[in-house]
């Protein structure tokens, strides 16, 4: 195994599968299996979960009804709903899972506490971080990078629907080629939007490798943890 401790970022979009919103049970089952398989191998897995399948704060401001900050808090709460759901799916396959939240809500989850999170991981438990960073104007991608650094993860794995970074948009350009390795500097230069700039900057400054990979292909998570070349790896 190449990466003993990893942070998996699961976006809300991944959780909704082919649905237009909400959760897709088969997808959650599949992701729970993926996580189980690597935990059984002795890998330590923490997860940051997104909320875009339920609510994306920013899109609402255009209508001028819900303000930015209110919308962002709604987005953060959406991640809590997803976290509770995914905890159930993980427990269902026998993986002991704790939720830690950036916004206190005592009956639902532990407050975020890095040392405690690390302790859970060392005991073979999965930790799901919810409510992003607890602050508006951020994304769960940035939260994923920060949490990965805080818990001293060896790698951040961003599970998406595409299998990495391409030279052009693969949906629009047939000649688009997949890039296997790329530096953070090139990511900025090429204007790659697979994660927001804040997230990339934080990763760059703290020397955190980020792998962008297709989470929907069965076995991919295990391959990534094992060090097989899948998706795109972004490093310094």
Binding region for ligand UDP (CB under 6 A) = 11-13, 50-52, 56-58, 71-72, 75-76, 78, 132-133, 135-136, 138-141, 143
Q: How far is the CB of 225 from ligand UDP (least distance, A)?
A: 21
Closer residue to ligand UDP (CB): 131 or 179: 131
Beta strands in the chain (DSSP E): 5-10, 44-49, 97-101, 110-111, 126-130, 155-160, 165-166, 178-179, 181-183, 210-214, 232-235
Integer angstrom CA distances of residue 199 from 17, 73, 96, 203: 24, 19, 29, 6
Closer residue to ligand UDP (CB): 31 or 138: 138
Describe the chain by its helix, strand, coil percentages, rounded to 5. Answer: 40, 20, 40
Q: How far is the CB of 53 from ligand UDP (least distance, A)?
A: 6
Phi, psi of 89 (to 5 degrees): -65, -35
Residue nearest ligand UDP (C-beta atom)? 50
Closer residue to ligand UDP (CB): 34 or 141: 141
Q: How far is the CB of 7 from ligand UDP (least distance, A)?
A: 13
Q: How far is the CB of 215 from ligand UDP (least distance, A)?
A: 12
Integer angstrom CA distances of residue 59 from 8, 79, 82, 160: 25, 16, 19, 20
Q: How far is the CB of 181 from ligand UDP (least distance, A)?
A: 24
Helix or strand (DSSP H, E) at 33: helix 25-40
Closer residue to ligand UDP (CB): 50 or 83: 50
Closer residue to ligand UDP (CB): 6 or 139: 139
> What's the rounded Cα separation, in Å, for the pair 29 and 51?
18
Closer residue to ligand UDP (CB): 124 or 136: 136
Q: What angle do CA 3, 165, 17 make, to 5 degrees?
A: 80
Q: How far is the CB of 35 from ligand UDP (least distance, A)?
A: 17
Closer residue to ligand UDP (CB): 13 or 33: 13
> What separation, in Å, do the N-terminal and C-terminal C-alpha atoms of the chain show?
22
Dmax (CA) for the chain in angstroms is 52
Q: How far is the CB of 123 from ligand UDP (least distance, A)?
A: 27
């Amino acid at each position: 195994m190449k990466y003993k401790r990893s942070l998996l970022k699961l976006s809300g979009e991944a959780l909704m599968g082919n649905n237009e919103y909400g959760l897709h049970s088969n997808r959650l089952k599949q992701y729970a299996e993926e996580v189980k398989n690597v935990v059984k191998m002795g890998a330590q897995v923490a997860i940051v979960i997104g909320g875009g399948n339920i609510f994306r704060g920013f899109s609402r401001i255009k209508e001028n009804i819900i303000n930015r900050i209110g919308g962002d808090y709604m987005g953060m709460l959406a991640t809590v709903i997803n976290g509770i759901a995914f905890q159930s799916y993980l427990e269902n396959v026998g993986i002991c899972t704790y939720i830690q939240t950036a916004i206190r809500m005592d009956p639902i989850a532990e407050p975020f506490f890095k040392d405690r999170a690390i302790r859970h991981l060392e005991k073979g438990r999965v930790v799901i971080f919810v409510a992003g960073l607890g602050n508006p104007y951020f994304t769960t991608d940035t939260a994923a990078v920060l949490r990965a650094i805080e818990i001293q993860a060896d790698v951040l794995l961003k599970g998406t629907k595409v299998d990495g970074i391409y030279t052009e948009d693969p949906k629009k350009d047939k000649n688009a080629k997949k890039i296997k390795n790329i530096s953070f500097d090139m990511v900025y230069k090429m204007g790659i939007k697979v994660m927001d700039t804040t997230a990339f900057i934080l990763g760059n400054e703290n020397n955190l490798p980020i792998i962008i990979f297709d989470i929907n292909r069965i076995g991919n998570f295990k391959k990534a943890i094992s060090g097989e070349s899948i998706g795109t790896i972004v490093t310094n």
